Structure 1
Amino acid sequence: MNISARNIFTGTISALVNGAVNAEVELTLDGGDKIVAIVTESSVNSLELAVGKTATALIKAPWVMVLAGEATLKFSARNQLAGTVKFLTKGAVNTEVGIELPGGNLVYSVITNEAVLDLGLKEGVPASALIKASHVILGVPA
């Protein structure tokens, strides 16, 4: 299967907190980076999610917000992944931003060219990827 999501991370479920309607699932990637997803309890059951099981997180690049520099505010986004800008690919309206995390994983974001200028983004500067846990889609091997 081909997938249009730019961010595809495979890891091991390291925590699972069940709720009445939704569950919080923590996925630990190679290198130790972590991504949290909020999924329905129905998905937990149908995908047979459990601690220790392999899963893949899918996140579309436009859903990833970018914070430049060191975080001086707290955000409601569950995933606040600090790293370094690895590359910028400028287009006519938007720029693809690649943020390398400490574990070596690369998070892709698509933001406006104006935002890149306003944030002062350049290769090598610190930046964070902010991703709402509800924007993370989980899949498991069939």
Structure 2
Amino acid sequence: MSLSIRNQIPGTVTSVAVGEAMAAVKVRLEGGQDITAAITADAVKDLGFAAGSSVKALVKATEVALATGPVEGISIRNQINGTVVDVAAGPAMASVKVDVDGGELTAAVTADAVEALGLAAGTRVVALIKSTEISLATA
């Protein structure tokens, strides 16, 4: 199956905490960074996710926010360090490609944000992704 989701980073499940309806699945990305995906308990069961499962973390570009450094005092737990490799800006929106250990992320942000943050090739950034915006696929 082909998907329009550009962000597909391989990893391995390190733990699964299943609740009544939702589960928190921790994944170590191939580059060594850890993320958490909040998915349904039914999905964990149906897909057979357990520690050691190979997965792909899927995130729409519109769900990736960028910061120029780590952010404290925020509920977003997934903060992935990287370096901007390309910025394609139009009059309203921009596509920012970020090299992260183990893969590449694309963030769709406003052109105003690119200017205000000074985003250009070589800029160090932190990609912020809510755990509820990460889907997991079997690898």
CA distance in 1, matches of 2:114, 2:49: 38
CA RMSD of aligned residues (A): 1.5
Tell me if structure 2 keeps the 8 A contact 1:33–1:105: no
The 3-state SS of whatever aligns with 2:42 is helix
Residue 84 (structure 2) pairs with residue 85 (structure 1)? yes
Tell me if structure 2 keeps the 8 A contact 1:99–1:128: no
Per-residue deviation at 1:27?
1.5
**1:39 corresponds to:** 39
Tell me if structure 1 keeps the 8 A contact 2:9–2:104: no
**1:137 corresponds to:** 135
Tell me if structure 1 keeps the 8 A contact 2:12–2:54: yes
For residues 77-128 of structure 1, give each alpha carbon's deviation from its aligned partner in whole angstroms, at most 9, with x where no partner exists.
1211122212111234211111222x24211101011110011112112211
CA distance in 2, matches of 1:111, 1:39: 25
Gaps of 5+ in 2: none
Stretch of structure 1 that moved more, 40-49 or 12-21: 12-21
Amino acid at match of 1:67: A
**2:120 corresponds to:** 122
What is the aligned residue count? 139
Taking structure 2 as the reference length, the TM-score comes to 0.91
Amino acid at match of 2:59: I
Stretch of structure 1 that moved more, 70-79 or 2-11: 70-79
Stretch of structure 1 that moved more, 4-13 or 85-94: 85-94
CA distance in 2, matches of 1:62, 1:127: 16
Per-residue deviation at 1:3?
0.2
Gaps of 5+ in 1: none
Assess, with a 3 A threshold, how the Cα gap between structure 1 residues 11 and 117 changes in structure 2: closer, same or farther: same
Per-residue deviation at 1:76?
0.9
CA distance in 2, matches of 1:13, 1:72: 25
Q: Percent identity?
A: 33
For residues 23-82 of structure 1, give each alpha carbon's deviation from its aligned partner in whole angstroms, at most 9, with x where no partner exists.
1111222221222100111111111110001111111001101112x2253321121112
Amino acid at match of 2:72: L
Residue 63 (structure 2) pairs with residue 63 (structure 1)? yes
